[in-house]
Amino acid sequence: MKIKEFSAYLPRPATLKVKKELSELVTLFEFENDSGRPLMHKPGQFIMLSVYGVGEAPFSVSSAPIRESNNFELAVRKIGAVTGIMHDLKVGDKVGIRGPYGSFFPIQKFVGQDTLFIAGGLGYIPLRSLLHYQLKHRDEFGRIILLVGTRNPKERIFIDQLAELASGKDVEVLETVDVPDETWKGHCGVITTLIPKVRIDPDKTNVAMVGPPIMYKFCLGECLKIGIPSNRIYVSLERKMKCGLGKCGHCQINHLNACIEGPVFQYNQIESVEEAI
């Protein structure tokens, strides 16, 4: 029996199964595809999610690709009309989804290599998909090093998961906050201060980096300084997207459409594009 292909233009229904608060503004949502089919995304890709009667917005998929499950996770910050209504959803409510869309972290190029994850702010959300894929296939990859930076302790997300990773042997975790409070006992400073603390082999290390635009300029400089070639650095440029299909131009970066050529780019492909970083 031939499987019916989904339309790129028509949302298909999904049901909210789990909702968990990660911070004051960020909530983890687990949805189930009503079609009974896996999302079939790749790490770094995004979907378009619509709240019926409100609108549609893009979200990076935060869960690892699992072919045996038709559930997927999104971690969403409450910041606009669609995300505001999403935070009012109850378990059992329906949404519409399109996708997955966009480029992704090239998993096969990471096999047998070390991976340096650099997550600034909410950048851990899309990186989590790649990280958890590597953990599910741990024997295929070398060292996994995770650097996480947030502005303050209250904005930290996936706290329990990070603590579990830090206590194990599979991932080397370094975390920092820009501005500490009385509860914070860890490292203080911007995320670039963590990079010199990690001893790596630049010829066998790939970098997966996601964070706010201001972070890229300085973190890229630090990575190049320690000898990591630009073709081993992958960044996600999650510009404002509207259609996900390269039709509307909202996410255009010079001659590139972030929703088609991106959001994941190999740095050597965009380092000469002034508007990109």
Q: Using one digit for the tens of pLDDT, what is the confidence trace for 228-238?
A: 999 999 999 88
pLDDT 10s digits, 67-122: 778 999 999 999 989 999 999 999 999 999 999 999 999 999 999 999 999 999 99
> Across residues 8-16, what is the average pLDDT?
91
Q: Which domains does the chain have, with CATH numbers?
A: 12-101 (2.40.30.10), 107-236 (3.40.50.80)
pLDDT tens digits, one per residue of 127-143: 999 999 999 999 999 99
pLDDT digits (tens, 9 = 90+) for 141-169: 999 999 999 999 999 999 999 999 999 99
pLDDT given for residue 1 in this prediction = 37
Cα–Cα distance measured from residue 216 to residue 235, given in angstroms and rounded to the nearest whole number: 8
Mean pLDDT to the nearest integer, 9-38: 94
pLDDT at position 229, please? Answer: 96
For 59-119, give the DSSP string.
EE--SPP-TT--EEEEEEE--SHHHHHHTT--TT-EEEEEEEES----HHHHTTSEEEEEE
Percent of the chain predicted with pLDDT > 90 = 77
| Other beta carbons less than 10 A from residue 20's beta carbon | 11
